[in-house]
Structure 1
Amino acid sequence: MTSRTRLGLALLWLAALLLAGWAVSRTLELSGDLRKFMPAPQTPAQTLLIDELGEGPGSRLLLVALEGDSPETLAGISRAMRASLSADEAFALVANGGDAGLGAIPETLRPYRYLLSPTLDTQRFDVAMLREALDQRVQDLGSPAATLIEPLLPSDPTLETLAVAESLQPAGAPQQLHGVWFDRAGQRALLALETRAAGFDPTGQAAAVAAVHAAFDAARGAGPATLAMTGPGAFSVEIGARTQREASLIGTVDSIVFALLLMLAYRSWRAPLLGALPLATGGLAGLAAVALAFDGVHGITLAFGFTLIGVAQDYPIHLFSHIRPGVSPRDSVRGLWRTLATGVVATCIAYLTFLVSGVEGLEQLAVFTIVGLGTAGLATRFALPALIVPGQWNPIATPGLATAWRAIDRLPRLPATAALALAAVAIAVATLAPGRFWENDLSRLTPVPAPAMALDTQLRRELGAPDVRYVIAIDAADAEAALQAGEALQPQLDQLRVAGALDGFDLASRYLPSAATQRARQQRLPGDNELKMSLAAALADSPFVADAFEPFVADVAAARQAEPLGVEDLAGTPLATGVDGLLIQRHGTTTALVSLTGLHDAGAVARVAEQHGGQLLDLKQASESLVAEYRGRVLGALALAAVLLALTVLASLRSVRRTLRVLAPMALTTVLVLAALRALGVELNLFHLVALILGAGLGLDYALFFDHAGDDRDEQLRTLHAVIVCSAITFAVFALLAASSIPVLRAIGGTVALAVVCNFVLALLVTRRPVTAYAHGGADQP
């Protein structure tokens, strides 16, 4: 086969990968639901947290601040944005304070105003009340509010519509200037938006954020006003864009480094092309396997999966470095296959443990990695040798390699006692270093800049948004029981607010009274004759004509006969937003939530909640306990993986001594990296664990090939060349990640870069054997 034919086959392979990648991407369904990477919740707080992470109103909330122009101009921009965004299907709610009044209650619900209003809890439509109301309306008609009041008078002389609208305004709503919400300083116009897209839907959140910016640009025109936006959706869009930019830059630089190092190492432009083919094939096969086995592929699976199968880039490099003059590439890879296959199988068996973790995200990661590594190994063994021109390069003749080998050969061996002592010191440092060993607070992993977080806190305070940490939950058999429980709890919460235990609260029964309360209000509505007589008496000395209020009598009669409103009757109305966020119905039960603002005495609130069958839930504590349980699952899987990996290596090498010599660098590197991180004050998180897994795979790879080289000088030279190239490329890639501004990338990059150095040095000092003067072919000798 000619060199040109081999190149043509390589390009054909590449074209097939591009075509297959295009086909997979056409059917690929990406998921951003973080719940797939969480264990099943065990407590009510954990259950609520998991629900809120994905679909709760808190995860859908966007807070907007307009500033930089006069208050009057900002108010106009706010009104224009509300009008534009309210017509956008991407939003379930657009509130800026301008919806107070009639806009708060849709026309279809206005006949029910007497069932929604608390007025009839303490008053009746008797002569005295009606006369007082009519006298007040006379005064209102002479005021600037006349244009608002006059259309309501015939059907609503007591202005119950406005009373209901006022009661339905968010608890702790900000001040109004020029008809819209403003901050306390009167310099920022404020809006609160709720998206229809779930919090874990990055595409939907990105579309909503883009719609807000478009509405602002259209409303602002050429003015100097500026927009600031916070909230989970805004943060996720910003983080996603920044991560994509950094990942794209790092990926480009990594590709250049990979190509340059391979060309430098093998003095051939073909090496980067041939070296990338098995890795790309493995990645595509892993992706296709996950797409076939699961409903959707999680974005984290892709990110971590491609990171973990990065060890597969070493497979073709080992083949390239072990090419021998006069020996065909197929014979060269045949001699390497036992060692290469041991590394592949051991790593794949280790990841099999993730399949029993009970966490779908880890199961996806296991399938992706196992299929990807296995495919890359098989591609290196059976497909790649046919594309290599025999005698194309001889890595053993690389300038400076023999000099480096002689210097390394003079290094002292690391005795077993010294290795054990070093491990003991590292374990002591990792255990005794000050500070927490594990980081459970998810908020500390966020790459959102501190100024953005501070603005979010400020806007939440200005808008009276509820505390995102504490919430009261009351479980009930159905929605009616949940609403009644909320109504029973409300008076005591009012007392706690007056006492200073909390600043405010919100609950579903504010927006939708229970059916029992609605029926009680119906009972207080007068009959037609009674109402007409009372109205006639009230009109006796009034300037209003006697028949002006026939619509009012008709509405009262309709309300008296109406069926009480239920949750399903609010669908498609602004009231549904408040109720849906505070009344969770699932699995045949209903949970009434009470959101809290400014909690100062958690103990007092908890005691009141317990008296009414509820619980004060700490969602921060719930998130930390869930992270701890998740980490426990991962650590358990890793412990089992370590045992299976050791057994696999032992089965391949058939020597306990050789097995210990191969596993020692990997194990010692793990504890040394842990000690270094802890000594630097790093609190470990899940991403460090993922990085340690990858570091262990690299260490196993280096040690297996040094063991394969035995005490043969030429084999050691070839192995040294391969490991230098592998470790240089890996170190460069992860050193770049360590410089990222994204905490996840930084944690993985720094950990793996450190592990690469430790694994390389320890493989030389522990696994590599001394060379005897006339030793040859000692690769597989015990």
Structure 2
Amino acid sequence: MPAARRRIALALLWLALLALAGWAISQRLQLSGDLRKFMPAAETPAQKLLIDELGEGPGSRLLLMSIAGADAATLAAQSQALREALAARPEFALVANGGDASLDAIPERLRPYRYLLTDTFDRQPLDAAFLGEELDARVQDLGSPAAALIEPLLPSDPTLETLKLAESWQPANAPQRLHEVWFDRAGGKALLVAQTRAAGFDPTGQQLAVDAIHADFARVSAGTKSELVLTGPGAFSVEIGGRTAAEAQWIGLVDTIGLILLLWVAYRSWKMPILGALPLATAGLAGLAAVVLGFDGVHGITVAFGFTLIGVVQDYPIHLFSHQRPGISPWANARSLWPTLATGVVSTCIAYVTFLFSGVDGLKQLAVFTIAGLGAAAISTRFLLPGLIDPAPRDFADSPFLARLWQRIARLPRPKWSLGVLALVAVAVIAFAPGQLWQNDLSKLTPVPADALARDAVLRDELGAPDVRYVLTLAGASEDTVLQASESLRPALDRLVASGALGGYDMAARYLPSASAQRARQARLPAAPQMQALLAGVVQASPFNADAFDPFLADVELARRARPLVRADLAGTPLAASVDGLLLGTSGHLTALVSLNGLQDPAGVARVAADHGAQLLDMKEASESLVAAYRGRVLAALGVAAILLTLTVWASLRQPRRVWRVLLPMALTTLLILAVLRGVGVELNLFHLVALILAAGLGLDYALFFDHAGEDRADQLRTLHALIVCSLMTLLVFSLLALSSIPVLRAIGTTVALGVLLNFVLALLVSRQAVSEESNAVA
């Protein structure tokens, strides 16, 4: 077979194998969006609660809505129609707008339990005097506009305990009601709140919920000018996902066009962009396969960030292309480059090996992805790519442009002591620049626009949503234990509300009393004969028929004999969502949450809570301590990586002077990047640190290849050509990321773009050896 056809056949076989591998991986690939995989193990109670709340807590599942743009009556009708439509959908566990639909919280099968859930008879016995007053009130109700609501309830519930419970279960600081639904204080916006069944960081589930809201609102508001505002963690995650996808699309498009043009200009061959993509595709699939085989699910961040990290593998085929020349086969060229290339690969992988011991599942995935990808790209560049390369038509060392550029570079002074001065200045800037060094506030990493966050804050205030920073917790071995503890805390919390130290609170015991409280209420209910006698006397003196309240008698007797209601009995009801969100844990260890709003005196509330066996947790402090712990692990990993990297370079070069020349540009660049970021007021976060690793890996490659060129002028020119192409490609990719509106991508892009520029310049000035006189004479 002719050589050209053989190369084409090999390329097609490689592509076919990649396609087959991609199909096989897709069959097992399970993407996860749970950010807890990128969190370190929680150590304090507040951190444990924060981790649970991030993924499963009620706060992460809430979607807040307002409808405006029409008169109040129209908005109320649309609010009711939207609530009914959403409540019928499986995506939602609870939808509320303050309307009478809150009666649905007590389904028919649980109606008798109302006498165990209500606190009416804790203060007032169920006797003839009370029943007489209630029946007189019902006569008045039947002649009022509320008759349509009261009449269906009357036979089984003449004291209207169902309505009293529904009213007591309204949010502790509920908004005003107009036309029987919630409105803001100004009366211009109808308000709703929905709780999704999907966790807050389940992007697929949240997308389905958001789409359902928009679809149903479009239907109920058809023909009007009403507008819907939707906020909450789920809505933000959907917005972030959409924005990320849109930015990834245009960044990817610009990158692809730019890289193709750059490779074509550099090599004047349409084949090079195709051949250069093969090791990159191999790296991506190898990384994915390793994570799929080693973990239960692959986090979306691992995939996105991993492909960014293995972008360094694009340098491998470029070195092979730029060093190819007439008179040397591609295989010999690859063998010549392999020691230097392998040293760079091993050194870069070392930084990520340390992540395997970080204790963070997400970082472990990232390490496995990157190491497998870099290894696959290097091996395919060494043992597969040479078989596809045509004999070089020319030597890039003969380029007139490179010759002129090299002459200018050769005249540049070699820095010595000035590098020490530069390092001292960088250290001084890092140490003494104003502002905080580290960014611990997770909220500053959100790409949600400020106006959207402002709308969310307004809606939360109008709806009386709980404080997202503070929460009270009570721990116990069983469900009933924590419910009893919550009940004992209620009087103290009521006093705090009365004093103004607290605006309101919510707890599971509001909806589900403890078993002991329910038994106490059972004991207060009259036995069947006594109940029948006192009701008969009261009814005789009223306009009602003697048998009108037989269902009431049956329900009271059922409540008196029933076993206490437990959380499992609430399954499938709106009450389940409220209770489950406030009771966390499993059998043997449960935590009852008390959500707070309008907290004015944290210290005072903490003291009262401590007196009753509860604990006030500051979720902001918990998140900051978690971030600090995470950063500590990463910094420790980087310290170990720096030692291992130095040993690897020493084992490869074996000469102190060469080791120093290779490591110095990378170390100085790291200092300069930190100094630049600190100097412009950037607070450093975890993503800056991980990006520094990538920048250091690039710098090490640049320095190693300049050192590999030795004193030979021609080889230095080929290396210069390769590194110019490499650095321009990398600079293009990360400069576009630096322009992103996503803070995480912007941090990575800015850091690596700075690293590319500084590493290239310093490697050129420090790592490049002086050209020998013999080589100059030949030139």
User: Which TM-score applies when normalising by structure 2?
Assistant: 0.98
What residue in structure 1 maps to residue 444 of structure 2? 444
State whether structure 2 residue 271 is matched by structure 1 residue 262.
no
Deviation at 1:724, TM superposition (A): 0.6
Match of 2:313 in 1: 312
8 Å contact 2:356–2:367 — kept in the other structure? yes
What one-letter code is carried by the residue in structure 1 that aligns with 2:65? V
In structure 2, how many angstroms separate the alpha carbons of the residues matched to 1:372 and 1:572? 47
CA RMSD of aligned residues (A): 1.5
Q: 2 CA distance for matches of 1:634 and 1:592? A: 34
1:666-685 to 2 correspondences below 5 Å:
666-685=666-685
Contact 1:61–1:195 (8 Å) recurs in 2: yes
Q: How do residues 360-509 of structure 1 correspond to structure 2 at under 5 angstroms?
A: 360-415=361-416, 417-509=417-509
1:226 corresponds to: 227
Name the SS of the counterpart of 1:65 in structure 2. Answer: strand
Aligned partner of residue 539 in structure 1, secondary structure: helix
**Counterpart check, 1:127 vs 2:128:** yes
2:628 equivalent to 1:628: yes
Report the CA distance between 1:162 and its aligned residue.
Answer: 1.0
Corresponding residue for 2:241?
240
Q: CA deviation at 1:23?
A: 2.9
Query: Could you list the per-position Cα deviations for residues 430-475 of structure 1 after superposition, in whole angstroms to 9, with x for gaps in the alignment?
Result: 1111100000100011110011101111111111110011000111
Structure 1 residues 372 and 137 mapped into 2: Cα distance closer, same or farther (>3 Å)? same
Partner Cα separation in structure 1 for residue 283 and residue 544 of structure 2: 84
1:722 aligned partner, one-letter code: A
1:1-52 per-position Cα deviation (integer Å, ceiling 9, x unaligned): 4334423432442343233223322321001111111111000000000000
Alignment of 1:767 with 2:764, yes or no, is no
Please say if residues 94 and 191 of structure 1, whose CA atoms lie closer than 8 Å, have aligned partners that are also in contact: yes
CA shift digits 1:655-674 (9 cap, x unpaired): 12211110000000000000
Q: Which residue of 2 aligns with 1:174?
A: 175
1:577 Cα deviation from its structure 2 partner: 1.2
| 1:712–1:777 contact (8 Å) kept in structure 2 | no
Is the partner of 2:372 in helix, strand or coil? helix
SS, match of residue 150 in structure 1:
helix
Partner Cα separation in structure 1 for residue 521 and residue 394 of structure 2: 92
Q: 1:239 is aligned with what amino acid?
A: I
Q: Which residue of 2 aligns with 1:190?
A: 191
Are 1:107 and 2:101 an aligned pair? no
- How far residue 280 of structure 1 moved from its aligned partner, in angstroms, is 1.1
- Structure 1 residue 391, shift from structure 2 partner: 2.3
Q: Within 2, Cα distance between the matches of 1:237 and 1:407?
A: 52
CA distance in 2, matches of 1:43, 1:609: 18
**Higher deviation after alignment, 743-752 or 94-103:** 94-103
Once the two structures are superposed, residues 543-572 of structure 1 have per-residue CA deviations (whole angstroms, 9 ceiling, x without a partner) of: 122222222112111111111101111111
CA deviation string 1:509-539 (max 9, x = no partner): 1001111111111111111222223223323
Q: Quote how far apart the aligned CAs of 1:394 are.
A: 2.4
> Is the contact made by 1:61 and 1:193 (CA closer than 8 Å) also made in structure 2?
yes
Q: Using the alignment, how far apart are the partners of 1:176 and 1:100 within structure 2?
A: 14
In 2, Cα distance between equivalents of 1:776 and 1:352: 43
Distance 2:272 2:754 in 1: 27
Per-residue deviation, 1:249:
0.8
Shift of 1:186: 1.4
Residues in 2 aligned to 1:2 and 1:101: alpha-carbon distance in whole angstroms: 78
Deviates more, 1:153-162 or 1:749-758: 153-162
Correspondences of 1:54-133 after superposition (within 5 Å): 54-100=55-101, 102-133=103-134
C-alpha distance in structure 2 between counterparts of 1:565 and 1:258, whole Å = 66
Q: Secondary structure at the residue paired with 2:526? A: coil
Structure 1 residue matching 2:547: 3-state secondary structure: helix
Query: Partner of 1:162 in structure 2?
Result: 163
Q: Does 1:611 align with 2:580?
A: no
Hey, what does 1:297 align to over in structure 2? Answer: 298
Deviation string 1:618-665 (CA, Å, 9 cap, x unpaired) is 001100100110011111111111111111111011112211110000
Residue 745 of structure 1: aligned partner: 745
Distance in 1 separating the partners of 2:23 and 2:629:
38
How far did residue 212 of structure 1 move? Answer: 0.8
Partner of 1:532: 532
Instruction: Give 1:503's aligned amino acid.
Output: G
- Paired residues of 1:711 and 1:776 also in contact (CA < 8 A): no
Mapped partners of 2:662, 2:102: distance in 1: 76
User: What residue is the counterpart of 2:52 in the other structure?
Assistant: 51
Q: Equivalent residues in 2 for 1:272-287 (5 A)?
A: 272-287=273-288
Structure 1 residue 586, shift from structure 2 partner: 2.5
TM-score by length of 1: 0.98
Distance 1:121 1:777 in 2: 105
What is aligned with 1:582?
582
Equivalents in 1 of 2:596, 2:206: separation in Å? 26
Q: 1:100–1:166: 8 Å Cα contact kept in structure 2?
A: no
How far apart are the structure 1 equivalents of 2:172 and 2:259?
Answer: 58
Map 1:326-345; keep pairs closer than 5 Å.
Answer: 326-345=327-346
Conserved? CA contact 1:519–1:564, under 8 Å: yes
Amino acid at match of 2:236: F
SS of structure 2 residue aligned to 1:585: strand
Matched to 1:344, the amino acid is: V
The one-letter amino acid paired with 2:58 is P
Shift of 1:163: 1.1
Other-structure match for 2:691: 691
Letter in 2 for 1:153: L
Any idea what the Cα deviations from partners look like across 1:289-338, whole Å, max 9, x if unmatched?
Answer: 11111101111111221111111100011111111211111111111111
**Deviations along 1:205-235, whole A, 9 cap, x unmatched?**
1111111111111111132111111011100
Change (3 A) 1:683 1:522: same
8 Å contact from structure 2 (residues 105, 573) kept in 1: no
Q: What's the CA shift for 1:775? A: 4.1
Q: Aligned equivalents of 2:282 and 2:759: distance in 1?
A: 27
C-alpha contact 1:737 1:749 (8 A) present in aligned 2: yes
Q: Is the 8 A contact 1:100 1:169 kept in 2?
A: no
Q: Distance in 2 between matches of 1:176 and 1:635?
A: 54
C-alpha deviation, 1:587, in angstroms: 5.9
- C-alpha separation in 2, matches of 1:459 and 1:531: 47
Letter in 2 for 1:524: R
- How many Å separate the matches in 1 of 2:117 and 2:777? 90
Aligned to 1:594, the other structure's residue is in SS state strand
Contact 2:737 2:749 in 1 (8 A): yes
Q: Secondary structure at the match of 1:546?
A: coil
Answer yes or no: is the 8 Å Cα contact 2:283–2:373 preserved in 1: yes
Cα distance in structure 2, aligned partners of 1:521 and 1:727: 77
Paired with 2:545 and 2:255, the residues of 1 have a C-alpha distance of 84
Deviates more, 1:65-74 or 1:382-391: 65-74
Q: CA deviation at 1:101?
A: 5.5
Distance 1:424 1:574 in 2: 63
Deviation at 1:381, TM superposition (A): 0.5
1:136 deviates by: 0.7
Q: 1:298·1:361 contact (CA, 8 Å) conserved in 2? A: yes
Segments of structure 2 that go 5 or more residues without pairing to the other structure are none
SS at 1:502's partner residue?
Answer: coil
Q: Distance in 1 between matches of 2:651 and 2:80?
A: 73
2:350 aligned partner: 349
Post-superposition Cα deviations, 1:393-423, rounded to whole Å, max 9, x if no partner, equal 42223341100001001111111x3322221
The 1:543–1:587 alpha-carbon spacing in structure 2 relative to 1, beyond 3 Å, is closer
Kept in 2: contact 1:309–1:369 (CA 8 A): yes
